[in-house]
Amino acid sequence: MRVFTENRKASFSYEILERFEAGLVLLGTEVKSIKLGRASLTGSYVVTQGNELFLTGGHIPAYQPKNAPAGYLPERNRKLLLTKKELNYLRGRLSQKGLTFVPLRLYTNDEKIKLGFALAKPLKKADRREIIKKRDVRREIKDALG
């Protein structure tokens, strides 16, 4: 499994409850661009539209901008490929108050590009400060021990 891009802020801003995997509907130029590591998940999220889930706000530029299809948008919505059973389960979980889907990473699984996303709950500012304090204490202890 090769990881192309990660959303590192997700684990800091959200409490990850459950992880999922889905395929993406991509163009050929997007696949080549992702494999070169040009994609970015920063500021992206997964939304429901009708009975489907979409990746919104993910930036995937064309492999060769001059040869890109006319009107190509790097931030366009990309459909997630899931079974009906998975979709029903995910929509049920999302209906609970205060939960959201957060994209975590783009990677390959048997040569197919997959999106790893998670059901998450936003952390409050005080919780994030506590995480920073714990990290700093661990770092100081590690430095002191050598």
Which pLDDT score is estimated for 39?
93
Q: What span, in angstroms and rounded, lies between the C-alpha atoms of 47 and 98?
A: 14
Query: pLDDT tens digits, residue range 2-57?
Result: 999 999 888 888 889 999 999 999 988 899 999 999 999 988 989 999 889 999 99
For a pLDDT cut of 70, what percent of the chain falls above it?
A: 100
Q: How confident is the model at residue 111 (pLDDT cuts 50, 70, 90)?
A: confident
- The more confident residue out of 66 and 101 is 101
Total count of domains within the chain: 1
Q: What span, in angstroms and rounded, lies between the C-alpha atoms of 105 and 41?
A: 7
Compute the mean pLDDT over every residue in the chain, rounded to the nearest whole number.
89
Mean per-residue pLDDT, 115-140? 86
> Where residue 16 sits, what CATH number does that domain have?
2.40.280.10
Query: pLDDT tens digits, residue range 44-67?
Result: 989 999 889 999 999 999 888 887
| End-to-end Cα distance, the chain | 34
Name the residue range of residue 139's domain: 3-145
Which pLDDT score is estimated for 114?
95
Q: How confident is the model at residue 106 (pLDDT cuts 50, 70, 90)?
A: very high
Mean per-residue pLDDT, 87-102? 88
CB 33 within 8 A of CB 106: no
Which pLDDT score is estimated for 43?
87
